[in-house]
Structure 1
Amino acid sequence: MATPPELARTRYEQVTSTIRSIIEQIQDLWRGMSAQSVEDDLLGEAGARIASAVVAGQFTVADAAQAYIAAQMVAQGGSAAAEAALIAAAFTGIAPGGGPLESLLFLPAIGVRRRLAAGLTPEEAMLGGLADMAMYASTAIADTARSADQVGMAANRSCVAYVRVVHLPACARCIVLSGQMYRHSEGFLRHPNCDCQTLPLREDQWPDVPTPAQLIDRMTPEQRRRIFTEDGARAIAAGADVGQVVNSRRGMDTVTRHGRDIQITHEGATRRSVYGRSRARAGDQFDRFAGQRYGHATTTRYFRSTRHRLMPGEIFRLAGGNRDEELRLLRRYGYIT
């Protein structure tokens, strides 16, 4: 039987291979675009195909999450049985910050224009735009995988915690968190291009994952200087605490409702979505609104639920560790059934 670290490696490879496949598709589409027409390209067929590819990647990694959690629990002597089925489609079409994925994927066009204004050649500007697009796409897919994994953990009562697994190359902010254990519902600290993952645990145990010190030992002097800066690397070599050298923070967008900061999304909340249909059956009201395509209003034929949709991470925070409340809210907002 595969051990928990081996299963985590398999899950990591599944997510990263999915990302690589999507990035290759994006690169092929990007070659047919030009700096002069990049906005029109991303508002047209090329942009639609890029968005469809990323959505497909999000669905792929979300759809595999529950099987991964079940395999981990069985490998640790627990049960594969889950109390609810994860809805993979509920995790698609959403950017990491909760906004519309298509608006996020239009940002590379703005980056191209800025590079041209700064004096770069069209070729250089487009290369920079492709790098931006690859970062946004890979981050969206990786974040979907982590969100789906955490929802899968909540649906299986055998899982009580997770450990952060860091794969080199990694940034300083991630290295200092390697091997840290968290409750199954605790938020996952991440940043753009972060590919760290969760290793779900059945009970309090410490799997064989590298500590920050072990990761640093594996790095070359050049890598340490690049990741921690010259002064930081020298301080660590002199015995300074890595956590004091690195300031690890998460920057997430929030909105204020009734005096509280919460994370919400309108994505997946239309009448045609999984969540939207469930709200319609519950008698929720829907407001007419202009459709959005890469941040531009289209028509007003769309109807969106007046009830805000909470992000999975916000659900876990509001539930305060109460598994029954987590499951209730995850069902209410269309992530499980």
Structure 2
Amino acid sequence: MTTVLEEATTFYGRQRRLTARAIGRIVALWGTRPPVDFDLWFAEHADALVEILTAAQESAVGQGFEYVGAALAAGGGAITPDADPVGDNLVGVAGDGRPLDTLMYGAVIHAKAAIAKAPDGADRNVVRRAWSENGVAALITRAQTAIADAGRVATGLGTAARPHTGYTRLLVGSSCSRCAVLAGRTYGSMTAFQRHPRCDCRHVPRHRSDLARSAVDVRSFFESLSTAEQDAKFTRAGAQAIRDGADPAQVVNARRGVAGLESAAGRVTSAERAAIASGRLRNSAVAGGRELATTSEAMTKRGRAFKTIARGDDVRRETEIKKGKRKRLMPEAIYEVAESRDEALRLLKLNGYLL
């Protein structure tokens, strides 16, 4: 019988190979020769880029749902979910709620910005480098993040849908210092997974009774790196402090927020909670003075989420969906505002992520 760690290692190996194949196709489509008109090229190829990325997200989501059941079974026994996650509603959208074509157009913006920053009289290869280097780098970051987020949300939903579960944060690949000090932390299933662009860290679903036994020694991770890698990930001064015996978490937390992992403080007011609970979101949702991630993806009459969300008896809500006025919360935003598992499950169902 496989162990939880073996299940996690196998799953994330599959996810990395899936991501590599998708990025290879996207980069090949982008090419190395810059088009005469960047915007015209993107208009002609956006559908193909989104198709590749959507297919990869669908596979990542399917693998994520399977992985949760296998990991929990390996860790002490299968747990029947209270609700079934809706895979289709996790696809076609970025982690921050943007449609995938809008996300990918950011690579064009980066390429244009590189050209604009070039000094007057720069060599004629500026345009080529802007397209094949700056543009490609932004393209890869966006594609990798979108696929990883889809897989992460799937594993998060699969865990949240089951009672008496939580997760441990697992380091995968080359991790930054903020991720390193979070590794091995145990969380309840309703706690959102903090991540940054190109973050490779993942969930390890666990039985609640087993979570306390799950740990990763951050210092062991630090000592597994070369001196140069330690300096790069923890800063030269920070790494030296750790080598001198300082607590890695304290060193990294002194620079809290640099990696963009921390959310702003603030409580959700009664009025804000009522708006979120009603499901009638417009342009954005604001809680405690900060904007929560919402998306209009799949919220048209023929959208993936429409049939799920409009299934209820609230005629006014259904009318708003048909008129394209509503937005739905991203799962991460739901975990942030929900004060109980029951409330989180209700909001996940209301926003079309669970049946």
Shift in CA distance, 65/197, structure 1 to aligned 2, threshold 3 Å: same
1:241, distance to aligned residue in structure 2 (A): 2.1
Aligned residue in 1 for 2:38 = 38
Q: Provide the residue aligned with 1:170 in structure 2.
A: 175
Structure 2: distance between partners of 1:330 and 1:101: 21
* Deviations, residues 272-327 of structure 1 (Å, cap 9, x unaligned): 11322334444335569xxxxxxxxxxxxxx55433311112222333232x3322
1:118, CA displacement in angstroms? 2.1
Instruction: State the match for 1:182 in structure 2.
Output: 187
- Equivalent of residue 143 in structure 2, options 126, 137, 140: 137
| Letter in structure 1 aligned against 2:229 | Q
Q: Please list, as runs of the form range in 1=range in 2, the aligned pairs for 1:143-222 lying within 5 A after superposition.
A: 143-159=149-165, 161-205=166-210, 206=212, 210-222=216-228
Q: CA deviation at 1:210?
A: 3.1
Q: Does residue 326 in structure 1 map to residue 344 in structure 2?
A: yes
Aligned to 1:228: 234
Partners of 1:251 and 1:123 in 2: CA distance: 37
Name the Cα RMSD after superposition: 2.3
- Greater shift in the superposed pair: 188-197 or 262-271: 262-271
Further displaced range: 81-90 or 30-39: 30-39
Deviation per CA, 1:83-110, whole angstroms, max 9, x where unpaired? Answer: 2222211011111211222111001111
- Residue from 251, 265, 269 that aligns with 2:295: 265
- In structure 1, runs of 5+ residues without a counterpart are 289-302
Find the counterpart in structure 2 of residue 300 from structure 1.
Answer: none
Q: Does 1:309 find its partner at 2:315?
A: no
Amino acid at match of 2:222: I
Query: How far apart in 2 are the matches of 1:228 and 1:186?
Result: 26
CA distance in 1 between counterparts of 2:141 and 2:51 reads: 16
- Tell me what 1:50 maps to: 49
Deviations 1:104-133 (A, max 9, x none): 100111111111122261221111100100
Q: Percent identity?
A: 28
| Rounded Cα–Cα distance in structure 2 between residues aligned with 1:280 and 1:210 | 44
Change in 2 beyond 3 A, CA 1:314/1:121: same
> Does residue 6 of the first structure (1) align with residue 6 of the second (2)?
yes
Q: Which residue does 1:293 correspond to in 2?
A: none
- Contact kept, 8 Å, 1:285 with 1:306, in 2: the verdict is no
What is the identity, as a one-letter code, of the residue corresponding to 1:216?
F
**Distance in 1 of aligned mates of 2:23 and 2:161:** 31
Check whether the contact 1:165–1:198 (CA below 8 A) recurs between aligned residues: yes
Helix, strand or coil for the counterpart of 2:208? coil
Mark the CA change 1:223 to 1:259 in structure 2 (over 3 Å): closer, same or farther: closer
SS class of match (2:209): coil
Q: 8 Å contact 1:276–1:305 — kept in the other structure?
A: no
When the two structures are superposed, what TM-score results if normalisation uses the length of structure 2?
0.83
What's the offset of the Cα at 1:152? Answer: 0.5
Partner of 1:15: 15
Give the secondary-structure state (helix, strand or coil) at the position aligned to 2:93: coil
Note the C-alpha offset of 1:35.
Answer: 4.8
1:252 Cα deviation after fit: 6.6
Structure-1 separation of matches of 2:98 and 2:108:
18
Are residues 280 and 184 of structure 1, via their aligned partners in 2, closer, same or farther at CA, if it must alter by over 3 Å? closer
Partners of 1:94 and 1:101 within 8 A in 2: yes
Distance in 2 separating the partners of 1:251 and 1:43? 35
- Structure 2: how far apart are the matches of 1:169 and 1:209? 18
